[in-house]
Amino acid sequence: MNGRLKSVGLALLAPAIAIVLSILVTTLVIAAVGSSPGEFWSTMFEVPKPRLRVDIVNQTAMIYIAAVAAAIGFRMGLFNIGLEGQYTIASFSAATFAGAAYLGGFANVAASLVVAMVVGAAWAGIAGVLRATRGVSEVISTIMLNAIAVTLVGYFLNNYGVKEGNSVHTKNLPSGTTLGGWSPFEDRDGDIWALAIVAVLVGVGFWALLNKTRFGFDLRASGQSESAALASGINPKRMIVISMMLSGAVAGLIWMPALFGGARNYGTSFQVGLGFLGIAVALLGRNRPIGMLFGALLFAFLSVKSNDLTFGTDVSPSIVQITQGVAVLAVVVTYEVVRRWRTRLEQRAVSRELTATTGATA
Amino acid sequence: MRRLTKLSAVAAVAALALAGCGGSDSKGGGGDKPAAGDDVCKTADGDGPKIGLAYDVGGRGDRSFNDSAYAGLEKAVGEFDATCIEGEATDGEAESAREDRLRNMAENGATAIVGVGFAYSESVNAVAPDFPEVNFAVIDGFDPDDQANENVAYLGFAEQEGSFLVGVAAAEKSKSGTIGFVGGVNNELIQKFEAGYTAGAKAAKPDIKVEVAYIQESDLKGFGDPAGGKAAAAGEFDKGADVVYHAAGGSGSGVFDAAVEAGEGNWAIGVDSDQYLTATAEQKPFILTSMLKRVDVATYDFAKSVDAGKPLTSFVTYDLKQDGVGYSTANKTAIDGLTTTIDDYKAKIIAGDIKVPTKP
Amino acid sequence: MPSEVDAVQLRGIGKRFPGVVANHDVDVTIRPGTVHALIGENGAGKSTLMKILYGVQRPDDGTITIEGKQVVLKSPTEAIEAGVGMVFQHFMLADNLTVLENMVLGAEKLHGIGDGARTEIRRISERFGFDLDPDVLVEKLGVAARQRLEIAKVLYRGARIIILDEPTAVLVPQEVDALFENLRELKAAGNSVLFISHKLDEVLAIADDITVMRRGTTVGTADPATATKHELAELMVGSELPSPETEESTVTDTVQLSLSDVTLTDEFGRNLLTDLSLTIRRGEVLGIAGVEGNGQAELVETIMGMRIPTSGRIMLGDQDVTHWHTRQLREAGIGYIPEDRHRHGLLLDAPLWENRILGHQTRPPSSKGMWINRKGARKDTERIVADYDVRAPGIDTPSRALSGGNQQKLIVGREMSGDPVLLIASHPTRGVDVGAQAAIWDHIKRARRNGLAVLLVSADLDELIGLSDTIQVILRGRFVGTFDPSSVTPQDLGTAMTGGAA
């Protein structure tokens, strides 16, 4: 039990160091531009107002889904940098489908989620197929597909979207299909979106898939050693395509809580950048379901709270992007450092044990 | 070790991506933000209305839209003894962040709140019903649902009329008989600029040739791509155009560079704000004029209406008559001989003798 | 050659890794101008010791003294500065560069990159009989020439103490003799050589001094003039040396695997395997001998479905499996002991019980339908650990922490699970200690008695002769000779492996 506690402590060491480091760097940057770090942190660490708490939960949900999507790829050594494009085009497709109101009520929601997953999977699948058949690096192809997705969506929106003032958006959802959510505080503080539950399902599903299923085993094996996976009978090409598509399908869900929670259409309220946040959080959380949950919560907290900065301080809210970026870089580096330190600890433990036994037998 | 390099690579990509989000903050054209001390909201302590100003991405210091709104705010604060409160958007922020910004202002006692840019349309629509005693305005905004809001004004501009005037200026200035237009993104809004510009040019010189190019068909990156702007403008200069007007936001600096490279006798025309004032020393002599979209006028006007107790609501279009659009005469040596002609057309538009088209 | 200062003195060297003590209390003294052999079974700690002397790893205890000066080597660069050079078993050469370019790469400052360097290379080459032309592309060189180039590279950089890590492993017997000639020249010029090996004949033939390692420490020294193979072996093993011995034939008439005219071409249309035909019956061990890189790996991967033959047919029993995938083949009962256990046989960071599942994902007791059967897999891992004497703290230990022999025993145990009909064993005892080697041989023999068909690929000719019922020699992707192990000698095989030439 003591050993277990120790190993948990060691596992937490890396993220803890990373967070301290990112706080330090952020403080230095703020001080360097001549603002007050004290003001900054006291604003950031103030207990958030009820409506911000709601926002934090909603943002955490979306970022978490994005992180899981990224982690599916990472766990098998695929770097799906294209979450951004996948959820953009999937969100647009789902919003268009839902707005067309082929179905009513909850069936429309369910069908739209399926559309989002299928489109996300298909878009990511392009990169998967390119990698499997032509050896094209998925990093390059997904970055390019991001640009293509944004252009395509813009084109369809401009030509077939609903124009309003200077903006265009997809058709509004029919009134029966906005799910709203659960309001923990006053009405005006907003709802925790109903589909935030998707994040929970995705997280549990990810854990079970990885640890309980044959597919998950194959996925992890492929990630740990491609050559050993091949020799064990795993078809690497098939795995690449399937896991890319799975990653894309989950990516398709990223913005769905917002769409059915309050956005009503794909337009100015579409939130960009969640895909990249997801990648960062997957790194921060070491692709572990629980780790990513804390990572998503941290990022959501920083993003949401940063809005207060424009009032209390003269620090630009963009500064939290530095905090987030440093946290990710630092966690990658410190994890490696901690791992080596841990290895040394184990070495010492082993040698102690060995001396003890030789002493006994001698 | 190999794992570490692989991970670092991904971390670098992620960091780049995050940095990339922040990168477009600088689309104002490299200008330093004004020092905090300049901020009128820090010093204002009058007992007039409290004005909230929610900036679009880029915030104060973008030398364009946001700064223009600030100029209107400054004027209003001075005149109505008002106080003010500001808030800045970050790139890729959530819809809820915009709502939160507006709510914060309302809760802090602002009675007139202006959202700069149409991106605030949805959030104002969501927040306004919760604060019936507060008046909201959205620059370039629209009402996203069927229920009209009693306390929201949507402030639009007759961009085609301003563009008409610079079209006249371009045609008059051109010696080659060919002028050019560079749009950021080929959408309905930018087509309005093109339509007015072409109409103005044809009115001044019926046989003038207008080269038209768009940087992007649909991707909004067309507004933040100086290299693309430069390439598009250079193409038009190559085809014989000697005056090029851009409606391409941050890509415009590339259009100016193209004019500089095309050399003396070639001109560029700016957009939204008076870009002569913010261009580099090298670019300045080549900037004939700018089509002005008077966000400051709209902001000030809205504040004034609230102060007077007759707040603006619903759709308001700022056109030549209200001085909501116009053209700049900052580059005196370049524009001096043309102002009489341009002002003639201006009078005709205001009088209703000329109807400026909104579609090319 | 008496000299006042020893070339190298290692005193009390210790080095620990998680789960293993790689070295402890190691003492070695190398006299100048001698070939000093360091012998010991694989896993005895020779590699770690070399890496310490070459600055790749830093010792936890002990001192290194080079030519009378105590040094701390933090990197290979510092080792080279101190006069220590190393030739690794796996060559580090750029194929598409010339001998000259490979030589000066990273040492441009010494003699420039032009004629100065060329002259120096010629000088070294002639002095020691390396026969190297500076302007030939490395890809045109054979294995032995590449090895000479590696040695020359080390000398070019000014090394006086040269570590050779199992230099003979990649050579056929005839090439070994040539290498020994070069070594004698080196020593005559006053250089010292640390010669790592576990082949006792070779060591007795070339060494001036011998140090024996066992279980991470030096257990003794021997004088090659008086020592016998048997004495050395006992020092190395600490007990009687086992040897593989064929038992009476258990070959049946039922053909388990047959290949007919199997040809495999690479993406450039070159033949990797040409018209290979073979049959293995139940109860038969077919040995494949050959110098490494002559198509053994490709043959194994083709049978395992990791490569699909360009033409020809593969039959497993009476089923045509030519186009089957690895997983189908494994499910049909093929066990596979891969050549490189780290790359192909294990998930190093995964616990033992997960490694038990690898390759058996679709079969009980590892899985139930689409689910992993954690309980079943763990229980069966306990069985393997007990039956195959895998020494590990527990089945949750990551496989990385195990020694090579125990890793290999786990793999053998795993591949023997589920009653295989055919075992493909590629170098099954490479890099394992003597105890594990004997155990693995026993397991193969027992399975053969029970009717298992075995394809055995090995570089260890004694192992091939001792275990096989038939031996096929492979050269450039073709079978060039069939031998009866009861009458063949390693020399005969060596001749066939190099195409009959000396």
Q: What digits encode the pLDDT tens for the residues B273-284?
A: 888 888 889 999
Minimum-distance CB partner of A166 among B20, B91, B189: B189
CA C492 to the chain's CA centroid: 21
Residues A221 and A348 in one domain: no
Residues A103 and A226 in one domain: yes
Does A16 fall in a domain? Answer: no
Query: Which of A307, A311, A334, A339 has the most B C-beta neighbours within 10 Å, making it the best mutation to test the interface with B?
Result: A307
Cβ-contact C238, C213 below 8 angstroms: no
Cβ of A346 and C18 within 8 Å?
yes
Distance CA(C85)–CA(A85), nearest Å, equals 52
3-class secondary-structure state, position C26: strand
Q: Which residues contact B241 (CB under 8 A, 6 or more apart)?
A: B174, B176, B178, B179, B180, B211
Contacts of B60 in chain A (CB under 8 A): none
Cβ of A232 and C330 within 8 Å?
yes
Query: C184 exposed, middle or buried (CB, 10 Å; 0-12, 13-18, 19+)?
Result: middle
Nearest to B249 by CA among B58, B34, B69: B58
Which two three-digit tokens encode residue C130? 């390396």
* pTM score: 0.79
Rg of chain C on CA atoms, in Å: 24
Cβ-contact B324, B159 below 8 angstroms: no
CB interface of B with A, residues 210-239, below 8 Å: 216-221
Query: C90 exposed, middle or buried (CB, 10 Å; 0-12, 13-18, 19+)?
Result: exposed
Our count of domains for chain A comes to: 2
Which two three-digit tokens encode residue C224? 């090659």
Burial A46-73 (b: 16+ CB within 10 A, else e): eebbebbbbbbbbbbbbbbbbbbbbbbb
Distance from CA of B32 to the nearest CA of A (A): 12
Contacts of B96 in chain A (CB under 8 A): 55, 58-59, 190, 304
List subunits contacting chain A, requiring 3 or more Cβ pairs under 8 Å: B, C
Task: Note the ipTM here.
Answer: 0.83
Q: What is the pLDDT of residues C184-198, one digit of tens each?
A: 988 888 899 999 886
Cβ-contact B267, B287 below 8 angstroms: yes
Is residue B172 over pLDDT 80? yes
The average pLDDT across B96-113 equals 91
Distance CA(B64)–CA(C328), nearest Å, equals 66
Nearest to B155 by CA among B72, B99, B211: B72
Minimum-distance CB partner of A155 among B6, B14, B217: B217
Does A205 fall in a domain? Answer: yes
Cβ-contact B96, B63 below 8 angstroms: no
Locus of tokens 């001044």:
B204
Minimum-distance CB partner of B21 among A59, A273, A328: A273
Contact status of B121 with chain A (Cβ, < 8 Å)? yes
Return the bridge partners of C16, or none. Answer: C21
Contact status of B330 with chain A (Cβ, < 8 Å)? no
Cβ of A233 and C17 within 8 Å?
no
Is residue B345 over pLDDT 80? yes
Nearest to B172 by CA among B209, B210, B211, B204: B204
Could you check whether the bond before residue C490 is cis, i.e. omega within 30 degrees of 0? no
Contacts of B41 in chain A (CB under 8 A): none
Residues A329 and A299 in one domain: no
What is the pLDDT, as a whole number, of residue A319?
Answer: 83
Which two three-digit tokens encode residue C107? 């040492």
Distance from CA of A273 to the nearest CA of B (A): 6
Nearest to C235 by CA among C250, C213, C257: C213
Cβ of C18 and A350 within 8 Å?
yes
What is the pLDDT, as a whole number, of residue C127?
Answer: 86
Cβ-contact B267, B242 below 8 angstroms: yes
Amino acid at A254: I
Locus of tokens 């023997």:
C416
Q: Which residues contact C69 (CB under 8 A, 6 or more apart)?
A: C82
What is the pLDDT, as a whole number, of residue C125?
Answer: 87
Cβ of B216 and A280 within 8 Å?
no
Cβ-contact B214, B243 below 8 angstroms: no
Q: Domain B159-292+326-351: what homologous superfamily?
A: Response regulator (3.40.50.2300)
> In this structure, what DSSP letter does residue B268 have?
E
Is residue B35 over pLDDT 70? no
Return the bridge partners of C491, or none. Answer: none
> Are C8-237 and C255-497 in the same CATH fold?
yes
Distance from CA of B353 to the nearest CA of A (A): 26
Last residue of a domain, one of A305, A331, A351: A305
Contacts of A212 in chain C (CB under 8 A): 371-372, 374
Does A113 fall in a domain? Answer: yes
Residues A84 and A221 in one domain: yes
Angle formed by the axes of helices A50-75 and B95-107, to 10°? 160
Q: Residue ranges of chain C with pLDDT lower than 70?
A: 1-4, 17-21, 41-43, 198, 237-247, 433-434, 500-502
Contact status of C323 with chain A (Cβ, < 8 Å)? no
Nearest to A170 by CA among B148, B220, B144, B92: B144
Nearest to B7 by CA among A332, A138, A98: A332
Contacts of C304 in chain A (CB under 8 A): 231
Cβ of C347 and A350 within 8 Å?
no
Nearest to B58 by CA among B128, B116, B139, B138: B116
Distance CA(C230)–CA(C243), nearest Å, equals 12
Cβ-contact A219, A239 below 8 angstroms: yes
Report the run of H or E that residue C311 belongs to, with start and end.
strand C311-316
Distance CA(B149)–CA(B125), nearest Å, equals 7
For A213-256, the DSSP string reads: BHHHHHHHHHHH-HHHHHHTT--HHHHHHHHHHHHHHHHHTTTH
Cβ-contact A58, A258 below 8 angstroms: yes
CA A237 to the chain's CA centroid: 25
Tell me the count of A-C CB pairs closer than 8 A: 95
Cβ-contact A205, A65 below 8 angstroms: no
Residue range of the domain that includes A217: 53-305
What is the pLDDT, as a whole number, of residue C349?
Answer: 84
What is the pLDDT, as a whole number, of residue C237?
Answer: 65
Locate the chain B residue with the closest alpha carbon to A60.
Answer: B94
Pairing of strands A192-193, B50-57: unpaired
In CATH, what class is B37-157?
Answer: alpha beta
Distance from CA of B31 to the nearest CA of A (A): 16
Does A135 fall in a domain? Answer: yes
Distance from CA of A168 to the nearest CA of C (A): 46
Minimum-distance CB partner of C371 among A213, A228, A350: A213
Locate the chain C residue with the closest alpha carbon to A355.
Answer: C21
CB interface of B with A, residues 267-286, below 8 Å: none
CB interface of A with C, residues 222-241, below 8 Å: 224-225, 227-228, 230-235
Tell me the count of A-B CB pairs closer than 8 A: 169
Cβ of A215 and C370 within 8 Å?
yes
Contact status of C420 with chain A (Cβ, < 8 Å)? no
Distance CA(A19)–CA(A294), nearest Å, equals 12
Rg of chain B on CA atoms, in Å: 21
Is residue B23 over pLDDT 90? no
Nearest to C351 by CA among C392, C387, C389: C392
Report the residue count for chain B: 360
Minimum-distance CB partner of A271 among B19, B95, B220: B95
Residues A99 and A162 in one domain: yes
Q: Regarding predicted confidence, which is higher, B176 or A164?
A: B176
What is the pLDDT, as a whole number, of residue C358?
Answer: 93
Q: Which residues contact B160 (CB under 8 A, 6 or more apart)?
A: B192, B193, B195, B196, B199, B356, B357, B358
Q: Nearest 10 degrees: CA dihedral of B144, B146, B150, B156? A: 40
For domain C255-497, give the fold. Answer: Rossmann fold (3.40.50)
In CATH, what class is C8-237?
Answer: alpha beta
Cα distances (angstroms) measured from residue C34 to each of C161, C189, C194, C220, C232: 10, 10, 8, 18, 19
Nearest to B88 by CA among B73, B102, B109: B102
Distance from CA of B306 to the nearest CA of A (A): 23
Cβ-contact A194, A261 below 8 angstroms: yes
Distance from CA of C151 to the nearest CA of A (A): 32
Which two three-digit tokens encode residue A284? 């921060």
Nearest to B79 by CA among B293, B310, B292, B305: B305
Q: Region of C249 please: left (phi>0), alpha (psi -120 to 50) or beta.
A: beta
Last residue of a domain, one of A261, A282, A305: A305
Cβ of C370 and A221 within 8 Å?
no
Distance CA(A288)–CA(A246), nearest Å, equals 17
Residues A146 and A217 in one domain: yes
Residues A301 and A266 in one domain: yes
SS3 letters for B146-193? CCCCCCEEEEEECHHHHHHHHHHHHHHHCCCCEEEEEEEECCHHHHHH
Nearest to B319 by CA among B188, B160, B182, B212: B160
Q: Where are chain B's structural domains?
A: 37-157, 159-292+326-351
Q: Is residue B16 very low, low, confident or very high in pLDDT (cuts 50, 70, 90)?
A: very low
Q: Where are chain C's structural domains?
A: 8-237, 255-497
CATH code for the domain of A174: 1.10.3470
Contact status of B97 with chain A (Cβ, < 8 Å)? yes
Per-residue pLDDT of chain A (362 residues; tens, 9 = 90+): 455 666 677 777 888 888 888 889 999 998 988 888 888 888 888 888 899 999 999 999 999 999 999 999 999 889 999 999 999 999 999 999 999 988 888 899 999 999 999 999 999 999 999 999 998 999 999 999 999 998 899 888 888 888 877 778 899 888 888 787 888 888 888 889 999 999 999 999 999 999 999 999 999 999 888 899 999 999 988 999 999 999 999 999 999 999 998 888 898 889 989 999 999 999 988 899 999 999 999 999 998 988 888 777 778 787 888 888 888 888 888 888 887 777 666 656 555 554 554 433 33
Contact status of C332 with chain A (Cβ, < 8 Å)? no
Q: Nearest 10 degrees: CA dihedral of A118, A122, A124, A125? A: 130
For C235-289, the DSSP string reads: HHHSSPPP-----S----S-EEEEEEEEEEE-TTS-EEEEEEEEEEETT-EEEEE
Locate the chain A residue with the closest alpha carbon to C24.
Answer: A351
